[in-house]
Homo-oligomer: A and B are copies of this chain.
Amino acid sequence: MQTIRTKQFSTLMIAMVMAIAVSGCTSQSAGVKPETLSIEKQGSFAVGGTIVQTPGTFDPIKQGAYSPMGVDSTGQTLHGDHATVFYQIPPKAHHLPLVFWHGHGESMRTWQTTPDGREGFQNIFLKKGYATYLVDQPRRGLSGKSTQPAAISAAADEQLWFGIFRLGAWPDYYPNVQFSKDPEALNQFYRQMTPNTGPYDASLNIAAMSKLFDKMGDGILVTHSQSGGPGWKTAIKDSRVKAVVSYEPGGDFIFPEGQGPDNITLKGRSFPLPKVPMAEFKKLTEIPIVIYYGDNIPESESNNPGQEQWRVFLNIAEQFRDVVNANGGDVTLVHLPDIGVYGNTHFPMSDLNNEKIADLLSQWLKDKHLQ
C-alpha cells in the first residue's frame, strides 16, 4: 500500500507542476499567486425543459395584479423542467470540458467548496485546465421551476442520509472516514442538500442533459449517485458524450438484452434492471468509462441499510464492467480501498482526500487521451 501511495503522491506533484505550466495567467504573470484562477469566460444559462400553455387569452389589466392567494392562469404559460448550468472556461482549456451532474437531494453545490471549507472539483479541475459545467438538474436548486406541482414535506431525515452517504452509522462516524469531525462541516453538509421542486423524472433529466451537450459540444460527463443511471442513458442518447466518469452510481446500470443480470435484489426485494437493444448498448462500449466507489462498503450482506445498498450496487457495477468490456468496451471500476485509498464516503469529490481523488481522475483522463 505504501508504494501505491508514494506513487500517487508523485503523480500529484507532477499534475500540480503541469497545472501551473498550462495556466495562461499564472505561467505568465510575476507576482500573482499560483493559486489564482484565470477565467476566460463564465456564465449561466437554462437548457432543455418544457412549456405549458393554458387555453384562453390573458388580459393584462384584469389578470395583471399579483395576489399571494393564487393566480388566474387563463392564457398564461409556464416554462419549466430545464436544467441550469454555471460554466467557467479557463484560457487554453483542454479540448473536452467536464460536465458535473449531482445526485439525489443535491445540486451544483456538490462540486463547489467542500463541507469543511476546502476547494471542490469545480476549482480543482479549473486549475488543472479544464472547462467546468456545473448543472442543477430539472426541478432542483436553481432549476426549481417545474411544470408539475409538488409538496415539500420538510421532514427531518438527516440521520438517514448520514448513513446512506456513509459518513457512519448515526451517531458514530466510521473510524477511518474522510470527513471532518468539526461540527460546522456536518452543518454545511446537511445544508448542501436541497429538495425536489417537482416529481423526480429521469427522462426529463436525460433530455435536458442531452440538450446541454448539443449546445456545448463534445464533453466528459461526470455523474454522482442518482445521476449515474440517467448518465448512462444520456451517453447512449448523445454521441457528444465522449466519456463518462461516475462516482458511486446507483444500481440502475444498463445491460443489453440477453446479457447481465435481469434484477437487482436489495434486502429481499427485487427490482428489474433496464435492458436495451445491443445497438443502443454498443454506444457504452465506444467510450471510456471510469467508476469509483469509496470505503466502508461491506463485503457480505449487512443489516445496516446505509451500507448494504452500496454493497449491492458495487456488485452490479462489477457485472456492468464485465458485460461492457466483454462487448469490446473500456470500463475501469475502481473500488478505492483496493488501491489503498481508504475512508471515502459517498462523496469522494468533497472528502478530505479529494485532491487525491481528483488526481486519480486526472491521471485516467490523461491515460485515455481525454485532455
A residues touching B (Cβ–Cβ < 8 Å)? Answer: 24-25, 28-33, 35-46, 49, 52-54, 58, 60-61, 63-66, 70-71, 73, 75-80, 82, 84, 86, 91, 107-109, 112-113, 117, 119-120, 123, 136, 140-160, 163-164, 169-171, 187-188, 190-195, 197-198, 267, 303-306, 309
Contact = CB atoms under 8 A, between A and B. Distances in A.
Contacts of A158: 76-79
Contacts of A54: 156
Contacts of A84: 109, 191
6 contacts: A24-B31, A44-B109, A46-B187, A60-B170, A77-B156, A80-B154
Nearest to A192: B46
Contacts of A109: 44, 84, 142
Contacts of A148: 154
Contacts of A142: 107-109, 136, 141-142, 194
A265 B275 CA distance: 63
Contacts of A120: 43
- Residue from A60, A78, A117, A197 with most neighbouring chain B CB atoms (10 Å): A60
Given A36-B40, A64-B304, A79 B187 contact: yes
A132 B46 CA distance: 22
B32 A71 contact: no
A154 B150 contact: yes
A216 to B, nearest CB: 14
Given A64-B163, A154-B80, A160-B76, A38 B36 contact: yes
A60 B304 contact: yes
A313 to B, nearest CB: 13
Nearest to A186: B79
**Interface SS of chain A: helix, strand, loop or mixed?**
loop
A265 to B, nearest CB: 14
Q: Give me the 10 closest cross-chain CB pairs, A-B, nearest first.
A: A144-B194, A46-B191, A65-B305, A43-B113, A76-B156, A78-B156, A64-B305, A37-B39, A79-B190, A28-B29
A52 to B, nearest CB: 6
A215 to B, nearest CB: 11
A112 B91 contact: no
Nearest to A188: B46
A64 B112 contact: no
Contacts of A159: 58, 60, 63, 75-77
Contact of A152 (B107, B108, B155, B198): B198
A152 to B, nearest CB: 5
Given A64-B304, A66-B305, 15 more contacts: A24-B36, A35-B41, A37-B39, A37-B42, A43-B120, A60-B170, A66-B160, A78-B156, A107-B142, A144-B152, A145-B190, A150-B151, A151-B151, A154-B198, A197-B197
A22 to B, nearest CB: 13
B76 A45 contact: no
